[in-house]
Structure 1
Amino acid sequence: MEATLPQKRTTTPAEKLDDLKRLLEERKAERIVCLDLAEQGFFTESLVVLTANSARHARSLADDIAALCHERSWEFLRAEGYVVGRWILVDLNDIVLNIFLEPVRDLYHLESLWGFVKESTT
Structure 2
Amino acid sequence: MTIKKKAPGIPTVDKVRLVAEWLLEKKAADLVAFDVSRLCTVTEAMIVATAANVRQAQALADHVLARCGEEQVPFLGMDGFKTGQWILVDLNDVLVHIFQEDARQFYNIEGLWAEGAPIALPDAAKVPAGTPL
Question: Is the pair's TM-score, using the shorter chain for normalization, greater than 0.5?
Answer: yes
After TM superposition, which residue ranges in structure 1, 4 or more long, deviate above 2 angstroms? 38-42
Distance 2:10 2:114 in 1: 28
**Contact 2:34/2:118, CA 8 A, preserved across alignment:** yes
Deviations 1:48-94 (A, max 9, x none): 11100010000000000001111111110111000111100000111
Partner residue, 2:63: 64
Equivalent position SS for 2:75: coil
Deviations 1:9-41 (A, max 9, x none): 922222211111111122110111101113435
Partner residue, 1:120: 119
**Contact 2:61/2:87, CA 8 A, preserved across alignment:** yes
Distance 1:116 1:39 in 2: 9
TM-score normalised by the chain length of structure 2 = 0.80
Distance 2:38 2:85 in 1: 30
Q: Specify which structure has the bigger relative contact order, considering alpha-carbon pairs within 8 angstroms and separated by 6 or more residues.
A: 2
Partner residue, 1:47: 46
Distance 1:37 1:120 in 2: 10
Letter in 2 for 1:85: G
Structure 1: which 5+ residue stretches go unaligned? 1-8
| Max Rg structure | 1
RMSD (Å), alpha carbons:
1.5
Percent identity among equivalent residues?
Answer: 35
- Number of aligned residue pairs: 114
Distance 2:92 2:78 in 1: 11
Letter in 1 for 2:119: S
Partner residue, 1:99: 98
Distance 2:39 2:113 in 1: 11
Equivalent position SS for 1:40: coil
TM-score normalised by the chain length of structure 1 = 0.87
Partner residue, 1:6: none
Structure 2: which 5+ residue stretches go unaligned? 1-7, 122-133
Equivalent position SS for 2:74: coil
